[in-house]
Amino acid sequence: MSSLEIKNLHKEFDDFHAIRGIDLHIEKGEFAVFVGPSGCGKSTLLRLIAGLETVTSGSIMLDDKEITEVAASQRDLAMVFQSYALYPHMTVAENMSFALKLANVDQAVIDKKVKEAAEILQLQDLLTRKPKALSGGQRQRVAIGRAIVRHPSVFLFDEPLSNLDASLRVQMRQELSQLHHDLKSTMIYVTHDQVEAMTLADKVVILSAGKVEQVGTPLDVYYNPQSRFVAEFIGTPKMSFIPVDTEIQNLIGSQDKRNLTKGDCLGIRPESISINEKGLQGKVSLVERLGAETLVYIDYQDQYKIAARTNSLASVTVGDQIDFSINFDSVHSFDQDGVRVSPNVTDDLIVG
């Protein structure tokens, strides 16, 4: 396993500036996830690391070696693509061993590595099958096995689960997490799915418009978002936002240390809302009963939608006028430019 360092990286496609001065350090053995909305640059950044795109300016270091201009085949990286990219005429074993054969590795070594990878991925009984005889999850395992047999310094995953159905995605997330634990390898994973980011990552890298918005542990970016963009992107349902007005200031009280002014806004997680408690009033616009919990969406002041998380047996229906309170000790605050207003009440949390 190796560390990876990116310094002032830029990528331009004609008039489009896709990657805008990214600085990033990924430690040895770390599972880093690049996440962000479509078009934010996460896949482009991964392709630059892999050597599949040329860098406009900046540098990429693998341990102490600069690989910015090194050919993709010489970077000691292995990439797993969204599309599996398996050869349909080859068996599972042949697909997994193809890169090693091209490198003229001894057949006995190839057989050993394929066997080891197959055991890790539970593919032992499928080695003689061809891709058309495999399920989507099995094909993805083969694609991962093809990377494992190379024993790369860093694994790169480009949205590898996006073609799978919901249940398979959950299963493959668990298997990838176990794989990282077993191999103890450095892994970089691209996804637009924040659930994948929060459940897989040691380090989450949130991207927006070709720039890094925030880097941190999953809980750190959840509890201490540095911008409204991060606060709104991370979390399901999304964080709710309401402006600071006279009513809100009176409810917060004079002891708040953030010196909030009109024009600032509060960011409120669903778990910070308690329904049927005195404080504010609104109208229920939607109720989602999910079994273990219920999500209640409240229209506040006829223009702001607030999501509340409550127990599954809560007695509430669409159209109800409802009282609700906010736990102001756990809310976030942002100015008119979407920048966090310090100090956040969660700043004293020690989040690992």
Percentage, residues of the chain above pLDDT 90: 51
Token pair in block for residue 304: 């702001």
44: pLDDT strictly greater than 50: yes
The DSSP result for 15-76, as a single string, is: TEEEEEEEEEEE-TT-EEEEE-STTSSHHHHHHHHHTSS--SEEEEEETTEE-TTS-GGGS-
Contact by Cβ (8 Å): 62, 36: no
Between 40-44, 99-103, 126-130, the lowest mean confidence (pLDDT) is in: 99-103
350: pLDDT strictly greater than 50: no
195: pLDDT strictly greater than 70: yes
Q: Where in the chain is CATH 3.40.50.300?
A: 4-228
| Averaged pLDDT, 223-240 | 92
Angstrom distance (rounded) from CA 63 to CA 28: 9
CATH topology of domain 4-228: Rossmann fold (3.40.50)
Contact by Cβ (8 Å): 149, 78: no
Contact by Cβ (8 Å): 143, 86: yes
Structure-model confidence comparison of residues 206 and 149, the more confident one = 206
pLDDT value, residue 25: 95
Pick the CATH number of 237-334 from 2.40.30.210, 3.90.470.10, 2.40.50.140, 2.30.30.100: 2.40.50.140
Model pLDDT for residues 232-272, shown as the tens digit of each residue? 999 888 999 988 877 777 777 655 656 677 778 889 999 99
351: pLDDT strictly greater than 50: no
Angstrom distance (rounded) from CA 329 to CA 351: 17
Mean pLDDT of the chain: 88
Q: Where in the chain is CATH 2.40.50.140?
A: 237-334
Model pLDDT for residues 118-137, shown as the tens digit of each residue? 888 888 889 999 999 998 88
CB neighbours of residue 149 within 10 Å: 23
**186-191 and 31-35: which strand pairing?**
parallel
**31-35 and 57-62: which strand pairing?**
unpaired
Model pLDDT for residues 57-77, shown as the tens digit of each residue? 999 999 989 999 999 988 989
